[in-house]
């Protein structure tokens, strides 16, 4: 009603103004996510300027970028693409551009529009939409992936010369609560919720860890680990919660302790990581975070087959990364709260 009055340049009655203002401050919504093969990534339907694309929600980066009609036609094949010219709400930010590199060596670049973006029922009326003009070959073959929606902190958004905000930062002040949650499942659809915590999606209690935002990431300190039924080892390790990374990357000594309990496990330099016999009965991995035990079932650590008998491990070393990465192998055992309040924190509960 508020928009209707505005459309006809008529001042809305006070109660309509107040109701609209209150509604704007209590958005909340749920969007489904669907895993790609081996739970390598999880894709969510998002409407951009009225056009629906399947995006990889990534708490490890802060750019919302999409395949677009600005790309070579051959590279668009098999994808849903954003066409700014067919959106009635797109506004070109012609002075802005972006380029991003991910930890797996893939990347993309392009130009920027402002447009309406809807996730579940949560609406950003003017969100920076980074339209790709070029994407790396690694992306091209992931034909279900039409781009990424970054959910890290806007301080690491790559748009220049005018840095832009993430979808979450754009809508945060209008959400009922300044948070979103990730409910990733093994081999089945899950959800991301914005603005509320759905208590039916976890068991027990949520334990929280303080987040250090200085690197623009959901960065926290894990305080220990255990392998299977083994004793807990108290050792702090700097970590991030990253829905855009497939595996669980840990300090080398923890990785060695884990695979030391697996007959036939080996570091296979030709595969670039640890492998296990596919018929292994793998031990659980327990991370101590926020003073509580968070368990990844051993079966989740048999990530994907390499051959008849050899399988790639879901736990790998964090060498060269600079911190540990709690990626999907870990996150899909948990219900995760990304709390963007004035003292940001991450919460973990058993699904
Ligand atoms: C070959 N992978 C392409 C691709 C899909 C999603 C992403 O993005 C990533 C990759 C690694 C870490 N974080 C985000 O790259």
Q: Kindly give the number of the ligand 1 atom that is closest to the alpha carbon of 58.
A: 14
CA of residue 167 to ligand 1 center, whole Å? 18
Atom of ligand 1 nearest to the CA of 136: 3
Among 43, 62, 101, 102, say which to mutate for ligand 1: greatest number of ligand atoms within 8 Å of CB. 102
The per-residue pLDDT for 242 is 99
Ligand 1 centre to CA of 292 (Å) is: 30
Please report the pLDDT score of residue 2 as a whole number. Answer: 87
Q: Whose CA is nearest to atom 12 of ligand 1?
A: 245
Instruction: Kindly give the distance from the C-alpha atom of residue 241 to the centroid of ligand 1, in angstroms, as a whole number.
Output: 15
Percentage with pLDDT > 70 across the chain: 99
Predicted confidence at residue 18, as pLDDT, reads 82
Average pLDDT over every residue of 64-88:
97
The pLDDT assigned to 20 comes to: 77
> Catalytic residue among 242, 284, 328, 339, which?
242
* List 56, 58, 63, 339, catalytic entry: 58
- Would you say residue 343 has pLDDT above 70? yes
Atom of ligand 1 nearest to the CA of 145: 5
Place 19 in a pLDDT band, splitting at 50, 70 and 90.
confident
**pLDDT tens, position by position, 261-299:** 999 999 999 999 999 999 999 999 999 999 999 999 999
* Residue in the structure block whose two tokens are 């999409």: 66
Condensed to tens digits (0 to 9), the pLDDT of residues 100-129 reads 999 999 999 999 999 999 999 999 999 999
How much is the average pLDDT of 164-171?
98
Residue 76 host element (H or E): helix 73-76
DSSP string, 225-272: EEETTSPPEEEEEEEEE-TT--SEEE-HHHHHHHHTTSTT-EEETTTT
Q: What is the 3-state composition of the chain as percent helix, strand, coil, each rounded to the nearest 5?
A: 15, 45, 40
Q: What pLDDT shows up at residue 69?
A: 98
Average pLDDT over residues 179-203: 98
Confidence of residue 23 (pLDDT cuts 50, 70, 90): low
Average pLDDT over residues 221-225: 98
CA of 102 from ligand 1 middle (Å) equals: 6
139 phi, psi to nearest 5 deg: -80, -40
How far apart, in Å, are the Cα atoms of 18 and each of 11, 91, 122, 170, 312?
13, 29, 19, 21, 56
* Ligand 1 centroid, distance to 62 Cα (angstroms): 13
| Residue whose entry in the numeric block shows the structure tokens 């010219």 | 85
Give the Cα separation of 106 and 100 in Å (integer): 9
Could you tell which of 106, 136, 140, 243 is best to mutate to test the pocket of ligand 1, judged by most ligand atoms within 8 Å of the CB?
Answer: 106
| Ligand 1 center from residue 106 Cα (angstroms) | 6
**130, 136, 146, 244, best to mutate for ligand 1 pocket (most atoms within 8 Å of CB):** 244
Give every strand in the sheet of 273-277, ordered side by side. 266-268, 273-277, 310-313, 302-305
Give the pLDDT of residue 217: 99
Ligand 1 atom nearest to CA at 104: 11
SS3 of residue 214 by DSSP = coil
Tell me which residue has its CA closest to atom 15 in ligand 1.
Answer: 106
* pLDDT (0 to 100) of residue 17: 87
**Is pLDDT at 133 greater than 90 in this prediction?**
yes
| pLDDT exceeds 80 at position 324 | yes
Residues framing ligand 1 (Cβ under 6 A): 41, 56, 58, 60-61, 102-104, 106, 138-139, 142, 145, 148, 244-245
* Lowest-confidence region among 19-28, 134-143, 146-155, 287-296: 19-28
Give 144 Cα–ligand 1 centroid separation in angstroms.
13
Rounded to two decimals, what is the model's pTM?
0.94
190-214 average pLDDT score: 98
> 3 pLDDT band (50/70/90 cuts)?
confident
Q: Is the pLDDT of residue 24 over 70?
A: no
| Residue 242 appears among annotated catalytic residues | yes
**Over pLDDT 90: what percentage of the chain?**
95
Beta carbons within 8 Å of 45's beta carbon, 6+ residues apart: 31, 32, 52, 53, 54
């Amino acid at each position: 009603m508020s928009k209707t009055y505005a459309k006809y340049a008529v001042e809305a009655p006070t109660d309509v103004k107040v109701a609209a203002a209150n509604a704007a401050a209590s958005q909340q919504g749920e969007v489904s996510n669907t895993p790609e093969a081996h739970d390598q990534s999880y894709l969510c339907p998002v409407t951009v300027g009225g056009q629906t694309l399947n995006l990889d929600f990534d708490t490890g980066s802060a750019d919302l970028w999409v395949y677009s009609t600005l790309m070579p036609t051959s590279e668009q094949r098999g994808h849903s693409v954003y066409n700014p010219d067919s959106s009635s709400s797109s506004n070109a930010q012609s002075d802005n551009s972006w380029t991003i590199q991910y930890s797996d060596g893939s990347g993309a670049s392009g130009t920027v529009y402002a447009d309406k973006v809807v996730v579940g029922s949560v609406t950003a009326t003017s969100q920076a939409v980074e339209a790709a003009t070029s994407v790396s070959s690694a992306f091209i073959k992931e034909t279900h992936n039409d781009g990424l929606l970054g959910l890290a902190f806007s301080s690491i958004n790559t748009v220049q010369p005018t840095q832009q905000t993430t979808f979450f930062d754009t809508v945060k002040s209008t959400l009922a609560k300044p948070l979103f949650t990730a409910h990733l499942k093994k081999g089945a659809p899950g959800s991301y919720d914005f603005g509320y915590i759905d208590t039916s999606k976890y068991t027990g209690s949520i334990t929280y860890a303080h987040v250090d935002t200085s690197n623009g990431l959901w960065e926290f300190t894990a305080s220990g680990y255990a392998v299977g039924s083994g004793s807990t080892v108290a050792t702090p390790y700097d970590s991030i919660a990253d829905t855009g990374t497939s595996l669980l990357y840990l300090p080398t000594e923890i990785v060695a302790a884990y695979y030391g309990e697996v007959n036939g496990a080996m570091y296979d330099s030709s595969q670039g990581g640890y492998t296990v016999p596919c018929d292994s009965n793998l031990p659980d991995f327990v991370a101590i975070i926020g003073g509580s035990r968070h368990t990844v079932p051993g079966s989740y650590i048999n990530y994907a087959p390499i051959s008849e008998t050899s399988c790639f491990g879901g736990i790998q070393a964090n060498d060269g990364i600079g911190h540990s990465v709690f990626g999907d192998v870990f996150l899909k055992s948990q219900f995760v709260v990304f709390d963007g309040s004035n003292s940001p924190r991450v919460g973990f509960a058993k699904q």
